Chain A
Amino acid sequence: MSQTPPTTDEILRLDHLTKHFPVGRGLLFSRQRDIVHAVEDVTLGVTKGTTLGIVGESGSGKTTTARMITRLIEPTSGTIAFDGLDISNIDGARLRALRRRIQIVFQDPSGSLNPRRTAGQIVAQPLRVHDIPGDHSQRVAELMARVGLSPEHITRYPHEFSGGQRQRIGIARALALDPELIILDEPVSALDVSVQAHILNLLDDLQRERHLTYVVISHDLGVIRHISDQIAVMYLGRIVEMGAASGLVDHPMHPYSAALVSATPSHPGRRQSQRIVLGGEIPSPITPPSGCAFHPRCPKARLISGDHHAAPETCRLHTPPLTPASDGRMVACWYPVEADDNLIDAAHAMTANPG
């Protein structure tokens, strides 16, 4: 699918979207509160009919972004525009109307289906809630058939299905109101690898058939690169790199994206020795590192400073903005990866000489 520059065809736009969660320090009566910087200054656009994949480690703020887009939580600051309309602050009837146009599919298909309702009731729920006129049971039967379930499944309870079948029910529910945008938060990561492909194919077919726009979230770049037109890489609440899927996977420009790509097992011809093995843990979003949040783990920064203990001052003190690079790519890095950078050895030197 073709890579489209930002146009009027844009269905979703996030501008400087930020979410901070205040969390108690645990001291009774203490006014002092810590702040989780879950999502920090996210700006992106999604073109109608395409798929944006958001990839990043656990805790990078993917789900929080999804919950803001679906208006399940309020942004701390920034705006969300859907189809040209600022939806960050709407409520009441307008929010209800919006809910018909944006749907969400959850990661854990067993948790997202009410165990006390039959598959048919679950798929009919959006129709009931929005008082859609017409024959609901007929519509439910069509939807179930479309996602690959058979009529006798309608009267069964969620626990009687396999994980893949449950996710099909979740997808049928999301389709019921004919939405334009579907947010899929880790749609296949709870499923067996063999089942994952079936679900991804189904999503692909549905997208073409109904001209759907997807925002797919996953920690698995292998999944993301299969179905995405555009990919956004998140690290500690920020987008560090964004661009057309194939270009980004073939030539990652941010050192973190390069590490992610090198760790994706399905990458052809990739061997263990070619992995960029990052040292250390992802830092706490309560106290994100100064400057570039990736600097404590960044191998490229070591190549620049020539010292495997410290990143250069630029990286430590100044936050790199997301700036346009070649072919419509956006990168947030002072020293983007170049072809002859040996990040594998640089990363190895860091982990071999910790401190």
Chain B
Amino acid sequence: MDQVATLGVTRPRARSPRASFWAKFTAQPATVIALVFLAVLILAAIAAPLIASLVGHGPNDLYRTQMLDGFGLPRGPNGSFWFGADSAGRDVFIRVIYGARVSLVVGVVATGIAVVIGVTLGLIAGYRGGIVDTLLSRFADVMLAMPLLLFAIGISTACSTTSAGCLRGTLTPGLNLVIVIIAVFTWPAMFRIVRATTLSLRETDFVEASRAIGQTEFSIMRSEVLPNLISPIVVYSALLVPQSILFEAYLTFLGLGIPDSTPSWGGMLDQASQLFSVAWWLMVFPGLFLLATVLAFNLIGDGLRDALDPKTPRRTTRKRAA
């Protein structure tokens, strides 16, 4: 073992991968702000009933006498209704907080389903190649080529005409339907990334080495290839979440997503569009929250990409002269 010393090539102990990940991830102030914003939003969404009881207003409580004027128009922000009231006299602040629940649940669950489908199929297509790859890739291409919004509108209309839903009741209108629609249309994006990366990993020497050792193809896929896909999967998931949140807002805005009894940002924007000239707060508050949430997820996605890319220098390292 003294041979090691004579080689003189032992490098100084690098920082643990986790520590250097955090250093890079938090290097951009914008990423940190986005993280803090999302942390607060998630806490607020979880604690929505608690906040409602502290304020004293439920999300569907009507404050007609207090918050509607003589013409039946809503009143704006004041000391106890921070974000004003909507046309039915409900507290916009409380509804925005409850709306965060819908957006976050849709964003995370729809992305989660899309990731599971996209990663599984992408891994199989990229690793197996051949006819399996051709079939799966064409299928994903077809899904990507579909006029997304049109199809989504079609499906949700078909499944929303009665409360029994469609496909013998497997899809009922509301949150679940929205999540399924979004997942069905977003997995191909994840599929493509995973397939392309797997395609190049399949040719690496360490996969070849695993084969030479006698590891089965399934085991190589699972324990050699998959761990090397974590970076692209994590980064891309973070970018799919805001896309899903926006998609839900579109659907609900068009009256095809979440029913009005459940507060959601898309639904609130839908109502606001009819009253914008007299009640700006109906548009501004849910709109701002939607914008900030989408932006925050995108910033985190960018931050993750930089932090997980070994080629990104850490901010703290000295700048070399170009």
Q: Tell me, in angstroms, the Cα distance from A205 to B1 when the chains sit together.
A: 14
Task: Give the contact stretch, choosing among B2-10, B184-192, B284-292.
Answer: B2-10
A195 engages B212 (CB within 8 Å): no
Report the interface size for chain A: residues with CB under 8 A from the other chain.
39
Q: Tell me, in angstroms, the Cα distance from A103 to B212 when the chains sit together.
A: 7
Report the interface size for chain B: residues with CB under 8 A from the other chain.
27
With a cutoff of 8 Å between Cβ atoms, the chain B residues found around residue A115 in the complex are 228
B1 engages A148 (CB within 8 Å): yes
Shortest CB-to-CB span from B282 to chain A, Å, is 50
- Known interface pairs A99-B212, A115-B228, A148-B1; A162-B206 also in contact (CB < 8 Å): no
Q: Select one of B11, B214, B310 contacting A99, CB under 8 A.
A: B214
Shortest CB-to-CB span from A209 to chain B, Å, is 15
- Known interface pairs A114-B228, A160-B11; A108-B219 also in contact (CB < 8 Å): no
> Within 8 Å of chain B (Cβ to Cβ): is A130?
yes
Q: Tell me, in angstroms, the Cα distance from A296 to B213 when the chains sit together.
A: 41
B211 engages A148 (CB within 8 Å): no
B7 engages A111 (CB within 8 Å): no
- Known interface pairs A111-B205, A150-B4; A72-B212 also in contact (CB < 8 Å): yes
- Known interface pairs A100-B214, A126-B213, A148-B3; A195-B205 also in contact (CB < 8 Å): no
With a cutoff of 8 Å between Cβ atoms, the chain B residues found around residue A129 in the complex are 210, 213-215, 219
B9 engages A195 (CB within 8 Å): yes
With a cutoff of 8 Å between Cβ atoms, the chain A residues found around residue B3 in the complex are 148, 198
A111 engages B204 (CB within 8 Å): yes
> Within 8 Å of chain A (Cβ to Cβ): is B19?
no
> Within 8 Å of chain A (Cβ to Cβ): is B133?
no
A165 engages B9 (CB within 8 Å): yes
Most buried by B among A104, A108, A116, A165: A116
Q: Which residue of chain A has its CB nearest to the CB of B219?
A: A129
Q: Tell me, in angstroms, the Cα distance from A111 to B204 when the chains sit together.
A: 6
> Within 8 Å of chain B (Cβ to Cβ): is A159?
yes
With a cutoff of 8 Å between Cβ atoms, the chain A residues found around residue B4 in the complex are 148-150, 165
With a cutoff of 8 Å between Cβ atoms, the chain B residues found around residue A113 in the complex are 206, 209
With a cutoff of 8 Å between Cβ atoms, the chain B residues found around residue A256 in the complex are none
With a cutoff of 8 Å between Cβ atoms, the chain A residues found around residue B7 in the complex are 148, 162, 164-165, 195, 198
Q: Tell me, in angstroms, the Cα distance from A241 to B9 when the chains sit together.
A: 39
Per-position contact with A for B292-312: 1 when CB-CB < 8 Å, else 0? 000000000000000000100
Q: Tell me, in angstroms, the Cα distance from A198 to B8 when the chains sit together.
A: 12
Q: Which residue of chain A has its CB nearest to the CB of B231?
A: A116
Shortest CB-to-CB span from A212 to chain B, Å, is 16
B1 engages A114 (CB within 8 Å): no
B228 engages A106 (CB within 8 Å): no
Per-position contact with A for B1-41: 1 when CB-CB < 8 Å, else 0? 10110010111011001000000000000000000000000
The 7 A-B residue pairs with the shortest CB-CB distance in the complex, in nearest-first order: A99-B214, A162-B9, A112-B205, A111-B205, A116-B227, A148-B3, A114-B206
Q: List 18 A-B contacts (CB under 8 A).
A: A95-B214, A104-B209, A106-B209, A111-B206, A112-B208, A112-B209, A113-B209, A114-B227, A116-B227, A125-B213, A125-B215, A145-B1, A148-B3, A148-B4, A149-B4, A162-B11, A165-B4, A165-B10
